[in-house]
Amino acid sequence: MTTQVEHNRMANAIRFLSADAVEKAKSGHPGMPMGMADVATVLYTKFLKFDPKHPNWPDRDRFILSAGHGSMLLYSLLHLTGYEDFDLDQIKNFRQMGYRTAGHPEYGHGEGIETTTGPLGQGIATSVGFALGERIMNARFGDSVVDHYTYVIAGDGCLMEGISQEAISMAGHMKLSKLIVLFDDNGISIDGPTSLSTSEDHKKRFEAAGWDVQQIDGHDPAAIEAAIAKAKTTNTPSMIACKTEIGFGAPTKGGTSATHGSPLGAEELAGARKKLGWDSEPFEIPADVRDAWLSAGARGAEDFNAWGSRFEGLEAALKDEFERRIEGKLPENWIEAFNDYKKQITEDKPKVATRKASENVLEVLTKAIPEMIGGSADLTGSNNTKTSVQAPITADGGYEGGYIYYGIREHGMAAAMNGLALHGGVLPYGGTFLVFTDYCRPAIRLSALMNQRVVYVMTHDSIGLGEDGPTHQPVEHVASLRAMPNVTVIRPADAVETAEAWAMSITNETGPTVLALTRQNLPVLRTEYREDNLVARGGYVISDCDGDRQVTLIATGSEVEIAMDAQAKLKADGIKAAVVSLPSWELFDAQSPEYRKDVLGSAPRVAIEALSVFGWEKYVGDNGKVIGMHGFGASAPAPVLYEHFGITADALVKAAKELV
């Protein structure tokens, strides 16, 4: 049993590694690590199930530092418990180029960092996905191999952000009992006391959402231990409000915002050493303290070995399936089922909205790929994201299903999908209207930053949605998503391209995909079956002309049909036009210069898209023309809107003739 003195020395190791690293960097946030060091010490020495020698062990507990500005807390813990990626050199070079110890924890920089937690609130919201991922995998594979907790340290900033309410509500409703939030209740934000900006009772918020709530002294190790032990016995998620002093130990700045986001300074740091009885020089850890921390890190080996024995005891088929899902590999038979479906739609030529075409291909994919977990932000019937094989995932009905009713929580849905992807074993997709990607944007950006395979099914993709009007008509959204690094945006033109877009989405292992899908019905334009995926090229000649082309018409989505009509009208007037479908700029830009030149040709170009014209000059050139939106839409039926804003075949013909 750890004595009070031993605990204090172990906690102080965190405090001074953190404060010294911030001091050396002359940048950072020492206050939170110093304040939460006691809580973190109890968590890592008494409860957290982890093994630094096997950092990606599937049944490890997940620790998420939602208050990511306090990153030195996490880095200190990883260093002290023996993670190879975080040696002392990493600690000494906090916030420096080329080191893993970035200003905020960045997923992929080093083992032990479960998720990127820069934007406040995203960490606690992502944790809902982690906890739900555990329940989903547990329902499939059982307690013997999936039985772990998700622990979160969150601060006032995380809980003030609106996304936290969506996360709290979802977790409570789903009764995610293996989710435990440790609230750093220090009453301080950057501007000063939180009383300047809020007077709400966070404990009552959590209670109202169905959480178990406790209030403790965050500097009392016995109280911390008892609270976490109790939280592990509840059948609801738990929040432990840990009353702490920010910058604990700092003689004049402790308990104030002065310790939040600035180095303590040499004099204050020396005073803290004296006050807490820490005699070691910067970055020096006494041997007994280092041994105690390494012992805490080593204790997980027994759990890991026991888990390994249980895993080996599984029947071969179940073991293989578990490994396949954790590794993110798709079942071998999915592509055969997919190609059979694609061949069928080239023959049947269904005239359907691409949102409906998406539903149809999902019927095939979710049968072949059971780890696909769908959902919608209360728009299931509009997004067409649920299939016949997907039962709802509910607290009362069980977590065996494949579909999540996220409610009207776009922020929370997107963050939870990141958590599901990061947890492993599931392939998440979820839908809302494209215009509401604004609500999903921070999480989409994190999907991209963390290279996560998350599929965003965004329907009602242009002014073509019609009567709901300009508040619901996404004009600038596709352009803004195209501007985001590592996001693949695909706006398919028909059912065949939609199927191919899905194939690209589920095989994209390095980032998220946004599918922009129509409300209005579109004819099948690709009527000849090809096994190769043309959408994978990003753009291709969908309809060529006889002889040398005089003009190239470029379009995406619903406007490809318009371009085909314009091509026929130009042909009747003796003008040779080729039509290029350009469903994904990102995929097209990744092709060879020779391929892109061959597709776009050397003739003048006209582009058409019922969205903002922003960015199209890249493809039409300085002398080309773009037909699209220069402002917001209006409320009217789609055909009326297209005519009103001049997004028509006649307008395309006129523009083409001016260039020929």
Tell me the catalytic residues. Answer: 410
Q: Tell me 488's DSSP state.
A: E
Measured CA distances, 82 to 3, 42, 109, 284, 287 (Å): 22, 17, 16, 15, 14
DSSP for 98-118 reads: T-S--SS--TTSSTT--S---
User: Nearest CA to 487 among 459, 518, 449, 461?
Assistant: 449
Q: How many CA atoms lie within 13 A of 393 on its CB side?
A: 31
Q: How far is the C-alpha of 378 from the C-alpha of 405, rounded, in Å?
A: 7
Q: How far is the C-alpha of 167 from the C-alpha of 122, rounded, in Å?
A: 9
Phi, psi for residue 536 in degrees, rounded to 5:
-60, -25
Q: How far is the C-alpha of 526 from the C-alpha of 520, rounded, in Å?
A: 18
Q: Compute and round to an integer the Cα radius of gyration of the chain.
A: 28
DSSP for 82-93 reads: T-TT--HHHHHT
Phi, psi for residue 231 in degrees, rounded to 5:
-60, -30
**How many C-beta atoms lie closer than 10 Å to residue 267's C-beta?**
10
Helix (H) or strand (E) holding 502: helix 495-507
Residue 447's SS3 state is helix
Q: How far is the C-alpha of 71 from the C-alpha of 111, rounded, in Å?
A: 14
Alpha-carbon 501 to chain mean position: 19
Nearest 5°: the CA angle 23, 26, 28 is 80
Phi, psi for residue 168 in degrees, rounded to 5:
-60, -45
- Three-state SS string across 121-183, please? CHHHHHHHHHHHHHHHHHHHHCCCCCCCCEEEEEEHHHHHCCHHHHHHHHHHHHCCCCEEEEE
Q: How far is the C-alpha of 660 from the C-alpha of 658, rounded, in Å?
A: 6
- 91 by Cβ neighbours in 10 Å (0-12 / 13-18 / 19+) ranks as buried
Residue 572's SS3 state is helix
